[in-house]
Amino acid sequence: MKAKLTFNEIIKRYNLIIMLLIFIGISAILSPNFLTINNFLNLLQQASIPGIVAIAMTLVILLGGIDLSVGSVLAFAGMICAIIVDHFGGTVTGMVLGIVAALAVSAVLGLFTGVLISRYQLPDFIASLAMMEIARGAALLTTSGNPVFGLSGPFKFLGGGFLFNKVAVSGIFWIVLTIVFALILKYTVFGRSLFAIGGNREAAMLSGIRTKINYSLTYMLSAILAGFAGILTASWMSTGQPTAGDGYELDAIAASVIGGASLSGGAGSIWGTFGGVFLLQILTNIFNLVGLPSYYQRIAKGLIIVLALLLNRVVSQQKAAKK
């Protein structure tokens, strides 16, 4: 028979679920509108684009890296797609060409960052910071800093459409991508390699894992996901906005950490990140429902991140002590 979990072990193992339940309870008390289907569907839509960016960040964090360029890549990809869609008048052809071009450019940017880190040994912080500036500058340069307005046609359905007039299409994309990448991490050689490299890069190299290729591929996947989020953003807003995605990298890091990811690498999960994104979105929703200013959200978000990090450290120390 398995030994029963102690109270402390339950707190450590299920801290994210407990925090989610606590905040849901607080929200329900503060606002009777919180526990409604419409509000939860609204939460799904609001969390979908930050959620896709958070998936990208989690992949990189598992390696023990960081990608500060996701918000800027999101903006640049959204601008490229918006310009092409606008040029073709919102037709299906323009939409397909815009999506392909945006994802291709995102992949190139991510691969470039990955090569700088893996082949030329640049610190991930510096390489991704440089790409953040390059991509943001390129996004502003495309139209001299002016938004592209009036995107319409089938393109608008991608990020702003609803199935059965209820469920946001962007939310469905987020859920599908969460499932896909959770399965990739659990059942593929690539996924298991990320944990191995993040846990001990030298040991991973000695065991035959091609760390340079995995680094490049991971940063490329991160940029592609960020680019896709940029496409959905442009669709949802019906506008290509060169300043879109500002600060998304910090929210993505926060969601990953709250979800149990270790910034030193080797620990984390896509489902944990999914919960972390929802927790942050619930927090935002609480403040919106009760009409409190947004700067309180930043204070609360910071406190939650500190709490999550402290819990993760306690768990890591106790695991190390048992070995």
**How many Cα atoms are found within 13 Å in the side-chain-facing hemisphere of 45?**
20
Question: How far, in Å, CA of 240 to CA of 282, rounded?
Answer: 27
Tokens of 86: 């606008």
Higher pLDDT, 276 or 293: 276
Question: How far, in Å, CA of 102 to CA of 82, rounded?
Answer: 9
Confidence (pLDDT) at 27:
79
Percent of the chain with pLDDT over 90: 38
- pLDDT of residue 130 exceeding 90, the answer is yes
Residue 173 burial by Cβ neighbours in a 10 Å radius (0-12, 13-18, 19+): buried
Confidence (pLDDT) at 321:
59
User: In this structure, is residue 317 part of a structural domain?
Assistant: no
Range of lowest pLDDT (210-214, 243-247, 282-286): 282-286
User: In this structure, is residue 1 part of a structural domain?
Assistant: no
pLDDT, tens only, 27-76: 788 777 778 888 888 888 889 999 999 999 999 999 988 999 999 999 99
Range of lowest pLDDT (13-22, 82-91, 98-107): 13-22
Tokens of 294: 């947004």
pLDDT, tens only, 268-288: 889 999 998 988 888 887 777
- pLDDT of residue 19 exceeding 80, the answer is no
User: In this structure, is residue 12 part of a structural domain?
Assistant: no
- Most confidently predicted of 121-125, 131-135, 151-155, 300-304: 131-135
Could you tell me the pLDDT band of residue 79, with boundaries at 50, 70 and 90? very high
Confidence (pLDDT) at 75:
94
User: In this structure, is residue 130 part of a structural domain?
Assistant: yes
Confidence (pLDDT) at 107:
96
Phi/psi at 162 (5° precision): -135, 140
Confidence (pLDDT) at 173:
95
Residue range of the domain that includes 111? 40-283+294-305
Q: What is the mean pLDDT of the chain?
A: 86
- pLDDT of residue 97 exceeding 80, the answer is yes
Q: pTM of the full predicted structure?
A: 0.90
Confidence (pLDDT) at 99:
94
In 130-260, DSSP assigns E strands to 162-163, 167-168
User: In this structure, is residue 135 part of a structural domain?
Assistant: yes
Confidence (pLDDT) at 175:
95
Question: How far, in Å, CA of 19 to CA of 17, rounded?
Answer: 5
Instruction: Name the 3-class secondary structure at 207.
Output: coil
Question: How far, in Å, CA of 19 to CA of 279, rounded?
Answer: 8
Confidence (pLDDT) at 1:
44
Cβ-based neighbour number of residue 237 at 10 Å: 18
Range of lowest pLDDT (82-86, 134-138, 140-144, 148-152): 148-152
Question: How far, in Å, CA of 100 to CA of 94, rounded?
Answer: 10
Amino acid at residue number 286:
I
Domain count, the chain: 1
Range of lowest pLDDT (2-6, 32-36, 119-123, 280-284): 2-6
pLDDT, tens only, 179-204: 999 999 999 999 899 998 888 888 88
Instruction: Name the 3-class secondary structure at 167.
Output: strand
Confidence (pLDDT) at 109:
95
Tokens of 140: 């502003």
pLDDT, tens only, 141-181: 998 888 888 888 788 898 888 888 888 999 999 999 999 99
Amino acid at residue number 208:
G
User: In this structure, is residue 289 part of a structural domain?
Assistant: no
Confidence (pLDDT) at 217:
94
- pLDDT of residue 7 exceeding 90, the answer is no
User: In this structure, is residue 171 part of a structural domain?
Assistant: yes
Overall average pLDDT of the 93-118 stretch: 93
Confidence (pLDDT) at 145:
85
User: In this structure, is residue 211 part of a structural domain?
Assistant: yes
Q: Which residues pair with 16 in a beta bridge?
A: none
